[in-house]
Amino acid sequence: MKRKKIFIVTIFAAAAIGCALYFSGVLTPKTTDTDEADEVVAVKPVGPAFNADSAYAYAARQCDFGPRVMNSDAHDRCATWIVSKFRSLGCTVEEQKTTVTGYDGTALRCNNIIAHVNPQATTRILLCAHYDSRPWADNDPDSLNWHKPVMAANDGASGIAVMLEIARLLKAKPLPNIGVDLVCFDAEDWGTPQWAGVADKEDTWALGAQYWAAHVPEGYGPRYGILLDMVGGEGSRFYQEVMSKQYAPAIVKKVWRAAAQCGMSTFFPKDEGGAITDDHIPVNQIAHIPTIDIIPYFPDCQQSSFGPTWHTVSDTMDHIDKQVLKAVGQTIVQVLYSEK
Ligand SMILES: [Zn+2]
């Protein structure tokens, strides 16, 4: 994924307006969202306990294949493992295979993996994440690493790991009236590298999600979608992402409230994060499913506002924090088991 350029504009515009209003006396210095600030949410957890050890093991298993870069053997073997794992957890699984084109014209064998829990249920929720690894650590502090692949423990494996653990919990404690679709997007992270010397184009990212969104079956309409991207990195805090607030404000509110209800509000500040080009953009724009992105924001990180390991060779299991997996996973449990 990639930060949208509009973010810069948004910040400067907001800062400029904020300063103007502040100095004109219209605004008082306040950091929280006004209509949310006074909302007190009682801790009232529902659903089973999310097992972070299990999720951690699912992420480690993906990394054991090596970096899962497009057109590689490790990628294909990991895809086979993901399919068999979801099947073993009782899901009905489809593979949506196609060829997509990378920023430089490279043909990429793309395989979106779609797992259905309770496929007969008409009320459905979409969860999604990507499983491919970025082929280039182009944001690494050491330029010697810029052409090396990313292990993608966080930027890929963590989201799939949380979805697998959710599938395991849904098997153990079914939700009879709710169906859940767990979509593992491919080819998210083949977007234009920083060293390419050509302008980055938004549509070079999220290639698998673009294809999936353009081919959703007739009549498919989940209530909403939640994208999980980089949900295990140490030090992560999940601010409200700008495009999610634009496309699916009610879902942002629902998920952040759920985080508070299950005692995870520290990990989910109600302040605004960046505007991100990620798999949720085509899901919103092409498939018209209101979908949010749970993605970390590090306001003070010099290396990247996605965190110190983003698109570096340090995105390994050493920097995965089970407490972060737990915070996100338990929040998803809270959301799903609150559905009627
Ligand atoms: Zn990435």
Max Cα-Cα span within the chain:
62
Length of the chain (residues): 340
Task: Give the global pTM.
Answer: 0.91
Using CB atoms within 10 Å of the CB of residue 338, give its burial: 0 to 12 exposed, 13 to 18 middle, 19+ buried: middle
Structure tokens at 280: 């949720």
* 199-245 pLDDT, tens digit each: 999 999 999 999 999 999 999 999 999 999 999 999 999 999 999 99
The reported pLDDT for the residue numbered 41 is 78
Residue 250 CA to ligand 1 centre (angstroms)? 26
- One-letter identity of residue 297: Y
Residue with tokens 């909403």: 224
Rounded to the nearest angstrom, the distance between the alpha carbon of 310 and the centre of ligand 1 is 7
Rounded CA gap, 125 and 75, in Å?
27
Q: What is the pLDDT of residue 39?
A: 67
Q: HEC profile for 179-197?
A: EEEEEEECCCCCCCCCCCC
66-88: pLDDT as tens digits: 999 999 999 999 999 999 999 99
- Residue 148 alpha carbon to ligand 1 centre in Å: 14
Between the CA of 100 and the centroid of ligand 1 the distance, in Å, is 18
Mean pLDDT of the chain: 92
Closest CA to 315 of 174, 110, 178, 153: 153
Mean pLDDT by 10-residue block, N- to C-terminus, for the chain (340 residues)?
A: 57 46 40 50 91 98 98 98 98 98 98 98 98 98 98 98 98 97 98 95 96 96 98 98 98 98 98 96 98 98 97 98 98 97
Q: What is the pLDDT of residue 1?
A: 74
226 Cα: distance to centroid of ligand 1 (angstroms): 17
Residues 6+ apart with CB under 8 A from 75: 65, 68, 69, 132, 133
Question: 25: CA distance to ligand 1 center in Å?
Answer: 42
Render 5-31 in DSSP notation, one character per residue.
Answer: THHHHHHHHHHHHHHHHHHTTS-----
pLDDT of residue 3: 78
